[in-house]
Amino acid sequence: MSKQSIAVIVILSAFAHAVNAQPHAFITNQLDNTVSVIDTDRQQVVDTVRITGKPAGVAVNPIKKQIYISTPEGGGFAVMDSRTFKVLRTVRVGGASLGIAVDKAGEQVFVADWYEHSVTVFDTKNFEQTAVISVGKSPSGMTVSPDNKWLYVANRVDDSVSQIDLQKRSIRNTTKVGAHPFGIVVDSKGKRLYTANVESDNVTVLDTRRMKRVATLKVGARPYAVTLAMHDSLLFVTNQDDSTVSAIDTASLKTVAVIEVGDKPEGISTHPDGRFVYVANWFDNNVSVIDAKTLELVYTINTGEGSRAFGEFISP
C-alpha cells in the first residue's frame, strides 16, 4: 500500500472519529422496538438500532461511552456503545424497568422498577446487581445530583419524590409533590429540583437542601418531562395533551412562552451547549428541536413509531 493510500485511510478514520465525537440524541421508539440516533450537528438520523422489549428510558454514561436503554417488556435494559451504536449486552432486572439513570462517576446504573416499587443498582464494570432500594409506588423519573451524593426518584402513584443517599443507599427524605410526578430534573448547582406532575397539570419546585416545596407552577395538560437550558435560567416542560412545551423563567417562576411542537410530546432533553432542546413526539413519530434563546421551533426530525425518549438522552 502506498504512503498516499495510508494517509487517506488515516484522514478518513480521523474524520469518522470526529463525526462520532459530536453529541448524539438517542430516541427510543417504543412501538417499533428501535432507537433512532440523531447527529445533533447535522440534525438528522444517522442510525436506527433494533432493541426489543419496548425501549423507553435513556441514560448516558459519557465516562464509559455507553448508553443505557430501559426495556419495560424485556425486564431489564440494553447497553449500547455511544460511538459505534452497537448493542453490547442486555441486563435482566426482573420487573418492568422504566426510568433509568447513571451516577456522575459513571460507575453505577439505577433502574426504576415500576411494579416492584424499587430501584435496582448495577455496577458498570460487569453489570452485576449491587443493591435494591425500596422507594414509593411506581417509581419513574430519576436524576442524580451534580455532587453525586443523591439520587432523586419520582414516585408516580405515591405523588412523592424520594431522596436517596448514594453512599448509604438508603432514603433520606420522601417529599409530597403534585399528582403523579413523572419526569424530574435537578439544576447544575444541585439546589433546585423540578417535577412534572401529570395529573395535576403543574410542576413542583423543591429546595433540595431541605426537600421542601418552593412553588407550584401551572403548565399545560398532562405534563410529562422537564429539562433545564440556558445555564438553568429556563425550564422546559412537555405538555402531552396540548402538543406544546412550556418555557418557564426559573428566576421569576413565570411562563415566558408556550411553544407548539409535535403531537403528544413526551421525553425532553437539552443539548450540551445549553441552547437547543430536543422533544420526542409520541404520536407524530418525530423530534422537535427548540432554540432556547429565541424560544422558537427550528427543526423537526423524523424518527420511529412511538418516540418516547424518557430521561436524559443526549450524549456530551
pLDDT band at 115 (very low <50, low <70, confident <90, very high): confident
pLDDT score, position 96: 79
Domain 103-302 classification at class level: mainly beta
Torsion sign across C-alpha atoms 15, 79, 165, 137: positive
pLDDT score, position 19: 45
User: What is the average pLDDT across 133-147?
Assistant: 97
Residue 17 has pLDDT above 70, yes or no: no
Residue 40 has pLDDT above 80, yes or no: yes
Residue % of the chain over a pLDDT of 90 = 90
pLDDT score, position 21: 66
pLDDT band at 11 (very low <50, low <70, confident <90, very high): very low
| pTM reported for the whole predicted model | 0.93
User: What is the average pLDDT across 118-144?
Assistant: 97
Nine-digit cell string for 53: 422489549
Helix (H, G, I), strand (E, B) or coil at 248: strand
Q: What's the pLDDT tens digit per position in 233-280?
A: 999 999 999 999 999 999 999 999 999 999 999 999 999 999 999 999
Residue 62 has pLDDT above 80, yes or no: yes
Lowest mean pLDDT among 9-23, 82-96, 176-190: 9-23
Q: What's the per-residue H, E or C state across 180-208?
A: CEEEEEECCCCCEEEEEECCCCEEEEEEC
pLDDT score, position 75: 87
| Residue 271, phi-psi category: left (phi > 0), alpha (psi -120 to 50), beta (remainder) | beta
Residue 14 has pLDDT above 60, yes or no: no
Q: Which residue has the higher pLDDT, 16 or 126?
A: 126
DSSP letter string over 249-272? ETTTTEEEEEEE-SSSEEEEEE-T
Helix (H, G, I), strand (E, B) or coil at 3: helix
Widest distance between CA atoms in the chain: 69
Residue % of the chain over a pLDDT of 70 = 93
pLDDT score, position 287: 98
Interatomic CA distance for residues 73 and 208, integer angstroms: 33
Rounded to the nearest integer, the mean pLDDT of the chain is: 93
The answer to whether the beta carbons of residues 307 and 29 sit under 8 Å apart is yes
pLDDT score, position 3: 44
Domain boundaries, the chain: 103-302
Q: What's the pLDDT tens digit per position in 172-207?
A: 999 999 999 999 999 999 999 999 999 999 999 999
Strand partners, 51: none
